[in-house]
Structure 1
């Protein structure tokens, strides 16, 4: 038998109440056995009924916001505004966020201390600040969408750290010809062919896995790289550097595939790390192999405006800042390559002006002046 006390009705041990939603009286379950606690819960339910959007925002979880972000990125990829790899990127970073925050973490709980605790936990796991920066970028993008959908009412500037990861310095590793030769000697023929292909063409790992036999002409040096990240990444050009052309021909000869050039290589980073250790050289990654192309092309004095499009860059800024950065020794060798094209010596046969005690003289005439 229900027992009513004011605005509450008890059924068994549980208290129920009534709220008005859009002018309609509705019974709600407080899930409380204590009358005082039931009144507090009833007031909260009344507030939610009065402002459904605020109630929805209070219930929104981080998982829902991240799923909305990934879905949005995939829709942009289907529309051709983003690459599929970008959607994969956000999905991967969303996984890292959910692992530490938890599947049921609510956006209403998100504040600066919670984000700071996340950063500390990731650093304790040995994660670099650069990787954490990418994860916070994903979180920021999810919160922007939630803010637009009125599922979150917080402030991005108050929650997220300012300019986190601004001190990141990109790697500058590139292999010398001797290092590359030693590395190839520590790999099986198919894997060595893939490494040679990446150095010869500037292909990143994704482009390497998509390379087909029909995409290369090892005799002329023409290649087609099937890039997907942006429009400039899908590119056709000729490998003109003699050493790089030799590597392209090596890759074509030792690549086992007749359609796709290279078989799947599941643990490429680990295998490269171990091969570098056996070869006695500094570790390298697939992106370091791509960087090697830019370094060798710059050392050979190819113009940046030619190198940049062959690497899939829209301009030369990335090449100058990262991929083609030269050491002082490499810069000196490049300068020597231009020595033959230098202007003739313009002062070899000219008299040199001097000034002594404020009197301007010509060194070439000094002897004749004294003799007279």
Structure 2
């Protein structure tokens, strides 16, 4: 019986390794560094699967191939392993044991109902099925399976509109006792990046002009990653972190990469009196602050890595200073004429020639009290 291929360093060179019938089998990858070797290993495994033909018969086999294709020390592989463990909690239906042709929308609905009975929320179930769908889509793209099976995810929950004030953000940084948590908070607020991209960030993608959140060789996905500018606050925090760095990763703990920051972040939020605030709240906060400051939606979309600025408009548009002002002005002008148009937030008529009725009543009331 053959084991799965894994990456090893043999006589100074990276190679794919597994055991067959007790014998070691090695295949040279021709890679010069670990990141390159991991990418070559993924291609080697995919190519072998195509050559052997019909190797991937079940959903679980396709999911395992996807996991194997992710960088060994990266967040993406660890997250996929967590999702696999969550899917395995459901015995009926056992999605991973299903033949690929049996994977359909009905199986997804049955799985969702089983997870709900276990206490999982719709957002959690959507994440479980979403990562599985990404894996099957990848397998289809690599021609490891004929086509991506039809799947159905629970409806998306409305986006959370929780964002931090400047005072809350400072309190959160003060509540971060561990240096790597404080650094994560600073990076998240100033880059508007997702947690996964920050945990994957390595020093070779940081310089005095920008931070490149997209690692070399990473396939472009729906969740884009941007190149964001360096600023003085980021530079100060990163220079301090670089002095004590023990690994290639910017966010590190005990000399190695951090796979999950949720628990430590939750403790920092609780110490700051901000229960319910999550790492993603920081991304939402950064985007909200930019829109509130009048930064054009298209530029905010670029900062967030959104492919389509309509996504940014839908989630953050209502924070813009002039949100729907043109529509409101058109209604007022039609009903009451241009003299009743007010500049946003001032309650002063355009041109400042007349005072609003609201302000007149306020002043009249004050004079009567005197």
Task: Return the TM-score normalized by structure 2.
Answer: 0.54
Q: Kindly tell me: are residues 89 and 299 of structure 1, through their superposed partners in 2, closer, same or farther at Cα, counting changes over 3 Å?
A: same
Pick from 216, 226, 239 the counterpart of residue 214 of structure 2.
226
| Larger of the two Rg values belongs to structure | 1
Give the gaps of 5 or more residues in structure 2.
1-53, 326-342, 355-370
The 8 Å contact of residues 202 and 289 in structure 1, kept in 2 or not, is answered as yes
Deviation at 1:326, TM superposition (A): 4.5
Deviation at 1:196, TM superposition (A): 0.5
Counterpart in the other structure of 2:227: 236
Task: State how far apart, in whole Å, the 1-side matches of 2:144 and 2:198 are.
Answer: 40
Matches within 5 A, 1:1-372: 64-71=58-65, 92-101=82-91, 102=94, 105=97, 107=99, 116-137=109-130, 138=132, 164-188=153-177, 189-209=179-199, 210-212=201-203, 215-217=206-208, 222-227=210-215, 228=218, 230=220, 233=224, 235-238=226-229, 245=231, 247-255=233-241, 256-257=244-245, 260-264=249-253, 265=258, 267-322=260-315, 324-326=316-318, 331=321, 345=350
Count matched residues.
259
The 8 Å contact of residues 123 and 129 in structure 1, kept in 2 or not, is answered as yes
Q: CA RMSD in A?
A: 4.7
SS at match of 2:252: coil
SS at match of 1:226: coil
Q: Deviations over 1:268-313 (max 9, x none)?
A: 1111112111111243222221222211111111111222212222
Deviation at 1:181, TM superposition (A): 0.4
Q: Deviations over 1:170-198 (max 9, x none)?
A: 33322211111001111133321221011
199-208 vs 179-188, greater mean Cα deviation: 199-208
Q: Deviations over 1:302-354 (max 9, x none)?
A: 111222212222231222233x3545xx747998xx979xxx957969xxxxx
Q: Deviations over 1:51-85 (max 9, x none)?
A: xxxxxxxxx9x98333135536877x89xxxxx97
Task: Return the TM-score normalized by structure 1.
Answer: 0.53
Task: State how far apart, in whole Å, the 1-side matches of 2:104 and 2:225 are.
Answer: 42
